[in-house]
A and B are shown apart, each in its own frame.
Chain A
Amino acid sequence: MKIKKYLKIYSLFLSTSIASELEYKTNVIIDFITAILSLVGSVFLLTIFFQNTDNIGGWNFEQALIIQGIYTILNGITNTWFNPNLTEIVKHIREGTLDFVLLKPLDSQFFISLNKIAPSGFLEIILGFALLFYCIGINQININLSFLLLCLTTLFCSIVILYSLWFLISTTTIWFVKTWNATEVLRSFLYIGRFPLNSFSFSLRIFFSIFVPIAFITTIPSEVFLGIALLWEILLEIIVAVIFFLVSRRFWLFALKYYTSASS
């Protein structure tokens, strides 16, 4: 019953936010062009890296394109769902409108995380998948059912980790009020996800596996895609995703206890 209710509410969210986004039609078109240019730019950067070498961190150009594809999909998801919603938390808290969210007979995390949608990120998701299909061709990957299942599982786990990271950082707003930029810091760290983890020095690799688990977000799904991932890596990714999600949920409920509304 409950799931049905939430699904219905979500479809309402979808239609209202798409309607309001489409009011700025030129904006949507410009965002589409931005998405294409940004992919062209990162491929350009890759070609600079590969000008005089045939591999970085053990990945050749065709393999590095897979990471680029996964990154583009995840970036599209970030732009469609996480960015428009989670930057709103700051506004809710500064202007005291979080009260209205908490008063609704709905889960507050659900409302805050999925209320809005920015359709311009869809193109990035499509571009990312198109790039991945191209990569299947140039890397001669055999597709079978278990391969697809593994790919989708790891990709799903990446999305969960990414969401939890965004949500954790946005939640800190309850104490710091103006952490609009904290998500900007996260964004610049996530930028690293465009490149194979092995191309960094050892200390950075540790940092990006433990503190900001970018390794899990793009590198492992790409390895699964290439068929070179080890079983423990996949299991670890699933465990990390579950832990991150649970922690972000608990952290939100914990933070709400410290929320002191607008007038108190």
Chain B
Amino acid sequence: MFNLNKNKLITLLKVQYSNMLEYRVEIALWAISGIIPFFMLNIWTNNNLNESINLSNVMLSRYFLSAFFVRQFSVVWVVFTFEEDALLGKISPYLIQPLNPFFRYFAQHIAEQITRFPFAIIIALIFFLINPESIWIPNLSLFLLACFSTFFSFLIQFLIQSIIACFCFWTEKASSIERLLFIPTLFLSGLLAPVISFPEYVKSWIYLTPFPYLIDFPANILSGNNTNIISGFFMQIFWISVLFPIFIRTWSLGTKKYTAMGS
């Protein structure tokens, strides 16, 4: 049903990458808009809030820098593009092509992450200039594990948003559902406060939801903080395998429901 081969994938990526390069400034601005974790770090260390969770200033700064990186490479916006395409009727020509349109969006995201990479590095360098004591080099195996878990985090968010995007076939404007879902993602994923600092009544159930695996888990691996790697990966793969069939199902139901422009 996907009809994808290597050539198509490479062509898609190339096209989208050159597309993204044209709007470099825009992507640089996106990268800058992700610096909230640094402000949070400032509040944490400036008020010595981290003493209670047994994290030194250095480890906490590494955590928030890692959180920044994980967020940079797992940002998903497919629902907004899809909504616009659906409202303007651009979906129709995509549907005729012998390729699921979500591959196009997927390639867009990957291309955007590649374009983002240098900007994220620059921001990290500035961060190290200001906080030279927090410089660290993660060992290779942990680094690779962190890359994988970031990619899985991206996949989870991409699948969730794609499912929401499919609701466009019914409600036309699905981005408000995404904005609703963004709130728990923002507060529970570990972007603003590491999950270990959460009160017990939240910690007892949060590890069953997908949220801590979006930012907190990959950021902990990358920064070298303690985390249960095996159960983390297990939960990430579990959520991907739950969400993927749901996405396929909503997509096939949605395309049947779809009534192009003018009908």
Contacts and interface: CB of A to CB of B under 8 A. Distances in A.
Interface of A: 24, 26-27, 30-31, 33-34, 37-38, 41-42, 44-45, 47-49, 51-53, 56-57, 176, 178-182, 184-185, 187-188, 191-192, 195, 199-201, 204
Contacts of A187: 33
Contacts of A27: 171, 173, 176
18 contacts: A24-B173, A30-B176, A30-B179, A31-B179, A37-B180, A37-B183, A37-B184, A41-B183, A45-B187, A45-B192, A48-B199, A51-B199, A52-B52, A179-B26, A182-B29, A184-B30, A185-B29, A195-B43
Contacts of A33: 180
B253 interface: no
B183 A200 contact: no
Interface of B: 23, 25-26, 29-30, 32-36, 39, 42-43, 46-49, 51-52, 171-173, 176-177, 179-180, 183-184, 186-187, 192-193, 197-199, 202
Contacts of A182: 29
Nearest to B46: A201
Contacts of A42: 187
A188 B29 contact: no
Contacts of A47: 199
* Max chain A C-beta neighbours (<10 A), residue from B29, B51, B177: B29
B33 A51 contact: no
Contacts of B36: 188, 191
B183 A38 contact: yes
B47 A53 contact: yes
A31 B35 contact: no
B39 A176 contact: no
* Max chain B C-beta neighbours (<10 A), residue from A27, A179, A187, A200: A27
Nearest to A50: B49
Contact of B186 (A41, A56, A178): A41
Shortest beta-carbon contacts, A-B, top 8: A52-B52, A41-B187, A181-B29, A184-B33, A30-B176, A188-B33, A37-B183, A185-B33
B193 A41 contact: no
A192 B197 CA distance: 20
Contact of A31 (B43, B49, B51, B176): B176
A38 B43 CA distance: 20
Contacts of A200: 39, 42-43, 46
Nearest to B38: A204
A51 B44 CA distance: 12
Contacts of A30: 176-177, 179-180
* Max chain B C-beta neighbours (<10 A), residue from A37, A42, A48, A184: A48
Contacts of B199: 47-48, 51
A42 B193 CA distance: 11
Contacts of A184: 29-30, 33
A176 B23 CA distance: 10
Nearest to B34: A188
Nearest to A208: B39
A192 to B, nearest CB: 5
A201 B51 CA distance: 17
A49 B33 contact: no
Given A49-B43, A178-B23, 6 more contacts: A27-B171, A30-B180, A34-B176, A37-B180, A49-B47, A200-B39
A23 to B, nearest CB: 9
Contacts of B52: 51-53
Contacts of B35: 188
Contacts of B202: 44
Contacts of A48: 193, 197-199
A109 to B, nearest CB: 24
Contacts of A24: 171-173, 176
A57 B177 contact: no
Nearest to A58: B47
A53 B44 CA distance: 11
Given A34-B183, A192-B39, A53 B26 contact: no
